[in-house]
Structures are given as structure tokens and as C-alpha cells.
Amino acid sequence: MLFLLGTANRMGSLRLQCSKQYCNLYDLTTSEDTFTYQYIPQHVEVLCIENTVMEHIDHAILEGVPSSIQVLIITNAFALRWISVPWAVKQLMITTTNLRRMDIEANNSLSYLAVTVCDLVKVPDSIKHARGLEWLHITSCKLLGLNIASLCDNVRLGVLSLRRNKIRYVVNTSTRHCGLYDALASVTLSENLLTTVSMELFNVLVRMDGLYLHNNRIRTLAGQLIHGALAVLRMDGNKLSSVDLCGWTVPSLVSLMLDRNNLTAVPLCVNHFTNISLLSMRSNRLSNFTIESVAGMSSLRELDLSCNTLKTVMLSTAHFPADLEMLNIDYNNLEALDLSFVPVRSLEVYVSYNLISSFDACGASRNVSKLLMYDNFIICAWHTSSVRERARCNKTDGSVRRLRNGEFCYG
């Protein structure tokens, strides 16, 4: 069903266009134009206000939105700089504006707030009035920093995402226990301008199971993270040259991503992290590696060391992560590979795009269930144990195809 209303307007054509699930209101100019709300069908739950030319959307504009509307979207409002949010708005999405100020009425009903492409330089002070807020996303705006204290009274906030801003610092100036501490489960600060992060700031967020700090400019991780719930930590795409995990206590951590940094060695004390199942250090500056450096990681299943500068890898040792299932060392500088002793039940090894000219396939451990060794001076591969019996390794003419710094490593 399509419902269309048109009327002459000083600034253009005011239009209300409705379908079965949503309505679009175009070219809203003044509070007088809100008479169109009366034509919104009762079954519609989503209202999108588009191309408004107002600099300030005040209470008079939004308080008349029908109570049946569950999601309010304001988009492509390039003149918009200030919005006043009445108490009845439940879910609000604001995208592609020049928004600089947001006033949220006390005892607000907001549960979801997403602001994308705007001029906000800080989390609005009035966010404290949205005590029922569960999701807060501010993306591609101009936030300069995060003070955790500004969210102290948001006792139901479970997801905080401040991606792609200009955040240079994270602090917490609160001098009291915040209700936020017992609610926040996911924190995303990726694609910002952070250079130093005090990890101890996150210790108070006792329910946080995901911390996403990737694609910043982080050179230093200060303080010790002591956290019982954290399961996923992303620090890939930064400028870390070393990581010291000594003194950290994160018993629930299962995924640690350190790709695309400047690391020359595995993190100090990572061997003590017995619950991590995925450790990824792709695209760093590792030149030598021994499996013994992660042998204490008894739950480790996937280890990715691809796209480094590895010249030597020592794998044939009894000190081996007991549950390791996959090892990726593609795109390195290995000249030799020894898989004669692999003390796990089944291991997949990926070692293409190296310089390997020395490899004893017949002497390789039967526990190597899968081997992909393409684009080396010796090409050797098997996908299953049965295929391995018929597999043959072939020497090449030396023209190893290299895609160094290519899409695979840095895409």
C-alpha cells in the first residue's frame, strides 16, 4: 500500500509517503508541518524524517509523533545543528547532519540512540537523562575523547560504540560507583586517534565481554587489565612494538587479535593465558618463532602468524599447545620447515608463499592432517590423511610468486 500526501510549502514540497511498514516525511520546515502526523497509519512503527531544513528540531516538532512509532529516523538534514528529544521517543537514529547539540528530556524513554555523520565533539551531557538507554552508537562524528563518568547514570547501557571519531583519550573522573559499571557489556573505540590506553580503566566494567580498540594509533598499553568477564580483545591495526601482559588477569579471554602492529615478539606472559583459543599476530615484524613460547596456552586452537618476516620457525618439540588445530605461517621468509615431531592429534599447517627449499615430507609427523605449501621452492600439499598417502612434493624452477604487501596481508 502506498499513501501519498502533497502540499505547497515555502521551502519546497512537503510529502508524506507511507508503505506497509514505514512512513517517510520529506521537507519538514516548521512545527506547523507536523499536522501530517495525523495521516500516519496506526500500524506503522517506523517514521523517517528526511531533508528537513530546520537548524533546530525542538520538542514541538517531535512530541506530536504518534505513540505507535517505535523507531524515529532523521536523515539527510544538512542544516540540523540542534535537536531536543522529548521523553516519549523510544528509538532514535540521526544520520548525515551537522548536529552539534542534543538535549534529552528528563526521564526519557530512549532505549536505542544512533548518531552517524555529525559534528558532535563530546557525548551529550543530557545523555544521563536517558536512564533506560541500552544501545549508544556515535559513529563518524567529531568526538575528541571519552569520559566514562559522563555515562555514569546510564544503568542499562549494554553496548557503547564510538567508532570512527577523533577520540584521543579515555578517562574516568567519577568519584562514586556508577550504575554503568554493572551494565556495560561491549565497548567499541575503533578507528579513532588513541595513542596510549590505560587498560585499568576498564577493570570497573565488570560485565564487559568485548573490548574493541582496533585501527587506532596505539603505541602503549598502560596499567594491568584485571577482568573476569572479558572474552574478546581486539588491538589489531595499531602501532604496538611490544605488548607486556604480565600482571594481567583475564580468565575468560578466548580471542586476542594483534594483527597489523609492529610486534617483533609474542607478548610477554601470553603463555599464562590458558583459555585463549584464537591468537592472531598477522602482519607484524616477527623474524623468529618457537612454538614453545605459546606451549602453556592449553586451549589455543588457532594461531595465525602469516604476513610476518619469519626466517625460522621451531615446531618439533614436546612443549606444544595441547589443543592446537591450525597454524598459519603463509607469506613469510621461511627457507626450511621441520614437521617431524608434532605432539597433537591433528594439526593443519598453512605455509604457502615462503621460500622453502628444504622439507622432508616422508618424515613429517602423521599428526599433520592437512598441509598447504604452495608457491615455495618445494610445493607440497595434502588435505586429508588418505590424500597424503598419494601426495608428491615437487621442486619448482625458483620463480616463486610473491604478493608481499599485497591485498592478502593488508586488505
- The DSSP symbol for 198 reads E
- Rounded Cα–Cα distance for residues 312 and 173 (Å): 48
The predicted model scores a pTM of 0.93
Cell of 19: 508503505
pLDDT number for residue 408: 72
Residue 161's SS3 state is strand
Grid cell 555529525 in the structure block, residue:
118
| Closest C-alpha to 307, from 288, 330, 326, 334 | 330
**Distance of alpha carbon 410 from alpha carbon 407, whole angstroms:** 5
Whether the predicted pLDDT of 411 surpasses 60: no
Query: Which tens digit of pLDDT belongs to each residue from 98-130?
Result: 999 999 999 899 999 999 999 999 999 999 999
d(C-alpha 341, C-alpha 367), whole Å: 8
For residues 30-56, average pLDDT: 94
Q: List Cα–Cα distances, 130 to 220, 249, 275, in angstroms.
A: 34, 33, 37
- Check residue 385 and give its pLDDT: 73
Nearest Cα to 75, choosing from 24, 140, 13? 24
- What mean pLDDT is predicted for residues 61-70? 93
Distance set, CA 210 to CA 35, 234, 256 (Å)? 45, 8, 11
* Better-scored residue on pLDDT, 362 or 275: 275
- Amino acid residing at 136: L
Rounded Cα distance, 131 and 109, in Å: 8
For residue 232, the cross-strand partners are 210, 255
What is the average pLDDT across 239-267?
A: 97
Mean pLDDT of the chain: 93
Q: Read off φ and ψ for residue 38, nearest 5 degrees.
A: -65, -15
Average pLDDT over residues 54-73: 94
User: Looking at residue 402, what is its pLDDT?
Assistant: 54
For residue 328, give the nearest of 363, 278, 401, 382 by alpha carbon.
278
Name the one residue in this structure whose C-alpha cell is 607440497.
Answer: 380
- What CA–CA distance (Å, rounded) separates 357 from 396? 9
Residues of the chain with pLDDT > 70, as a percent, come to 94
Residue 277 has pLDDT above 80, yes or no: yes
> Residue 180 phi/psi, 5° resolution?
-55, -35
| Cα atoms in the Cβ-side hemisphere of radius 13 Å centred on 178 | 27
Distinct helix (H) and strand (E) counts, the chain: 3, 31
Residue 386: other Cβ atoms inside 10 A: 9
pLDDT score of 404: 47
Quick one: average pLDDT of 312-338? 97
Q: Alpha-carbon distance 223 to 200, whole Å?
A: 5
pLDDT for 182-229, tens place per residue? 999 999 999 999 999 999 999 999 999 999 999 999 999 999 999 999
> Is residue 212 within 8 Å of residue 235, measured between CB atoms?
no
Mean predicted confidence (pLDDT) in 12-21: 86
* Angle (CA) 92 94 100, round 5°: 115
Lowest-confidence range among 51-60, 79-88, 380-389, 395-404? 395-404
Sheet holding 82-85, edge to edge: 56-57, 82-85, 101-104
> By the 8 A CB rule, do 85 and 60 touch?
no
